[in-house]
């Protein structure tokens, strides 16, 4: 009897991105893999879902791996929904998303399609991990990550995750790491600017620019870990309730 776990793999950079191809190769060592991923880049989509457009999903063969693969016209969250409701014949034991080309630490977690796919899996009651590498290059080196990805995935399979919690894992750009740090999300944000331009037809348009500002000086954050060449793991909950404020809010004259 085959007791290999069923693993759902997805991402937001598209099904042909090197990050997901490397992630698939690691997951093939652990379990039976089904890939459902966007047919093109979906970075920055957050938890968007397709509600007013036709959604397509079709089987595809990219390499000689044993995995089953499907490409979708939808968002990363759509891919998880499609996998659970239409493609898989049972609930997966694990969902992994990534490896994203670029960091999803700190505030980036709320914009990230990579993490939104993991969160959607968590909503479905599936243990889930989002993996990201602080290297935006299409030709980034994912080889140093593989043993750590496997270790983290095996630990989740063995120990499980609490209801409502998924893991946000970020790797610094490095050939070797100083270790793994369990972290909290740094308090940081993007200071955005919109550059106003004019197209050849005379119509004004705007191009988003900006810089990342870390206001958090703590040494227990994901940003600190990455800056000091550690792999950061942040447990993320998708219950956005500010529980600490409920009692105070009840004291208002409402």
Per-residue pLDDT of 106-140, as tens digits, reads: 999 999 999 999 999 999 999 999 999 999 999 99
- Tens of pLDDT, residues 200-220: 999 999 887 778 788 889 999
Q: How far is residue 167's CA from residue 161's CA, in Å, rounded to a whole number? A: 9
- Tens of pLDDT, residues 42-69: 777 788 888 888 999 999 999 988 999 9
Domain-located, residue 119: yes
Domain-located, residue 63: yes
In this structure, what token pair is assigned to residue 111? 């914009």
Q: Is the dihedral of CA 95, 49, 233, 35 positive or negative?
A: positive
Domain-located, residue 199: no
- Tens of pLDDT, residues 169-201: 999 999 999 999 999 999 988 777 888 899 999
- What is the band of 1 on the pLDDT scale with cuts at 50, 70, 90? very low
- What is the band of 2 on the pLDDT scale with cuts at 50, 70, 90? low
Domain-located, residue 196: no
Domain-located, residue 91: yes
**Structural domain harbouring 49:** 6-184+217-248
DSSP summary character for residue 86: I
Secondary structure (3-state) at 214 = strand
For residue 241, the tally of other CB atoms under 10 A from its CB is 8
Residue 43: predicted pLDDT: 76
Global pTM value:
0.92
Residue 48 burial class via C-beta count within 10 angstroms: exposed 0-12, middle 13-18, buried 19 and up = middle
User: How many residues belong to the chain?
Assistant: 254
Residue 32: predicted pLDDT: 97
Q: What percentage of the chain reaches a pLDDT higher than 70?
A: 99
Q: What is the CATH number of the domain that holds 21?
A: 3.40.1210.10
Domain-located, residue 210: no
Task: Give the chain's domain count.
Answer: 1
Q: Contacts from 152-155 at CB under 8 Å and sequence distance 24+?
A: 152/180, 152/233, 153/7, 153/26, 153/27, 153/30, 153/94, 153/96, 153/129, 154/30
Domain-located, residue 192: no
In this structure, what token pair is assigned to residue 133? 């590498």
Domain-located, residue 254: no
């Amino acid at each position: 009897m085959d007791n290999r776990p069923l693993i759902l793999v997805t991402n937001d950079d598209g099904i042909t991105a090197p990050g997901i191809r490397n992630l698939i190769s690691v997951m093939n060592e652990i379990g039976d893999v089904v890939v459902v991923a966007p047919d093109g880049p979906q970075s920055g989509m957050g938890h968007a879902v397709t509600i007013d457009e036709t959604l397509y999903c079709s089987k595809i063969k990219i390499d000689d791996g044993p995995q089953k693969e499907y490409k979708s016209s939808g968002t990363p969250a759509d891919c998880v929904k499609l996998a659970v409701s239409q493609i898989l014949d049972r609930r997966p034991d694990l969902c992994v998303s990534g490896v994203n080309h670029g960091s999803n630490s700190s505030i980036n977690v709320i914009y990230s399609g990579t993490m939104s796919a993991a969160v959607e899996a968590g909503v479905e009651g599936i243990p889930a991990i989002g993996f990201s590498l602080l290297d935006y290059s299409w030709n980034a080196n994912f080889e140093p990550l593989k043993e750590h990805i496997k270790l983290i995935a095996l630990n989740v399979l063995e120990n499980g995750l609490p209801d409502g919690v998924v893991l946000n894992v970020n790797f610094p750009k490095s050939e070797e790491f100083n270790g793994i740090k369990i972290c909290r999300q740094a308090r940081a944000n993007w200071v955005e600017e919109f550059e106003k331009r004019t197209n050849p037809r005379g119509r004004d348009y705007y191009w988003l620019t900006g810089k990342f500002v870390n206001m958090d000086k703590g040494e227990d954050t994901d940003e600190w870990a990455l800056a000091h060449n550690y792999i950061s793991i942040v447990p993320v909950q998708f219950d956005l309730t500010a529980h600490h404020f409920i009692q105070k809010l009840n004291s208002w004259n409402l």
